[in-house]
Amino acid sequence: MMGSSEALLSVENLTMMYGERVGCQNISFDLWPGEVLGIVGESGSGKSTLLSCISGQMEPTKGAIKYNTRAADMRDLFEELSEPERRFLMRTDWAFVHQNPRDGLRMGVSAGANIGERLMAVGWRHYGNIRNTATQWLDKVEITDDRLDDLPTTFSGGMQQRLQIARNLVTNPRLVFMDEPTGGLDVSVQAKLLDLLRGLVQDLGLSVVIVTHDLAVARLLSHRLMVMQQGEVVETGLTDQVLDDPQHPYTQLLVSSILQA
């Protein structure tokens, strides 16, 4: 599973306070290349706060987030990288898949322009090449290429989510953050999307941090699981281990609350 002996992302004692209130606290973990880490927990347990911090969108109150950049070795996101460097990482090496595709897509421009945006941001200036790459990516996310010039507003929810994924993966990122990627979709579309995601993650060797409250999603996608409650990690381990033999009372509650079909 580990292609390299060094972690891609390393989080040490991360704490995020909203004034007096705790967002999340004392969180430490390493993410290895090619690994999919699931973060599960109920609403308000600090999953999204953690994700915002480690994806560089919010500076944590305390703690270090180190990323293994392509150029140098481990560098702290907020201490050792400038804002331009951080923003550059966000649109090249990283990807962020939002729960609501409307947050991650540019709704006013066509699917092709959505996919091409990141390419143009890193300096692609050949219309034909951008368009070809966009077509290939539409194909990879199972959208027919005659929808290339259509606006995302004309797409179904599942298609919008797949378009968002294509738009994010087009620059071959190494690290993908996902916030409830299957959130608003019906069950059959969810299953298809998960299948697609699993294939892409394997083919491209992506490292993924995926936040979800859906244990089925976590079981299907992630290698390792972190269970959060009230801003703290209460249990961590291999996915099957955590789900089949939960140790912490909260995890036991969570696992037993799944409806058995």
Site stretch for other proteins (CB under 8 A), options 9-17, 34-42, 102-110, 224-232: 102-110
62 is an interface residue for other proteins by CB under 8 A: no
The whole-angstrom separation of Cα 238 and Cα 152 is 37
118 is an interface residue for other proteins by CB under 8 A: yes
126 is an interface residue for other proteins by CB under 8 A: yes
Which residue type sits at 66? K
Shortest distance in whole angstroms from residue 120 CB to other proteins: 4
- Residue 3 CA: distances (Å) to CA of 30, 130, 206, 207: 14, 30, 11, 11
125 is an interface residue for other proteins by CB under 8 A: yes
112 is an interface residue for other proteins by CB under 8 A: yes
Site string for other proteins, 70-89 (x = CB under 8 A): -------------xx--x--
CB 67, CB 245: distance < 8 Å: no
The single residue among 79, 149, 240, 245 that binds other proteins, judged by CB under 8 A, is: 149
- Cβ distance to other proteins smaller for residue 98 or 224: 98
The site that binds other proteins (CB under 8 A) totals a number of residues, namely 24
Site stretch for other proteins (CB under 8 A), options 13-21, 117-125, 188-196, 213-221: 117-125
The whole-angstrom separation of Cα 124 and Cα 121 is 7
Site stretch for other proteins (CB under 8 A), options 25-33, 128-136, 154-162, 173-181: 128-136
Shortest distance in whole angstroms from residue 71 CB to other proteins: 18
Which residue type sits at 207? S
The whole-angstrom separation of Cα 203 and Cα 216 is 22
Residue with tokens 């987030």: 65
Q: Which of 202, 165, 230 is nearest to 25 (CA)?
A: 230
> Which pair of structure tokens corresponds to residue 207?
């490292």
92 is an interface residue for other proteins by CB under 8 A: no
154 is an interface residue for other proteins by CB under 8 A: no
Which residue type sits at 60? P
Shortest distance in whole angstroms from residue 99 CB to other proteins: 21
Return the ∠ at Cα 199 (arms to 194 and 201), rounded to 5°: 90
21 is an interface residue for other proteins by CB under 8 A: no
CB 138, CB 166: distance < 8 Å: yes
Shortest distance in whole angstroms from residue 94 CB to other proteins: 15
Q: Which of 35, 15, 76, 56 is nearest to 233 (CA)?
A: 15
Instruction: Note the residues at the interface with other proteins (CB under 8 A).
Output: 83-84, 87, 106, 108-110, 112-113, 116-118, 120-123, 125-128, 130-131, 148-149
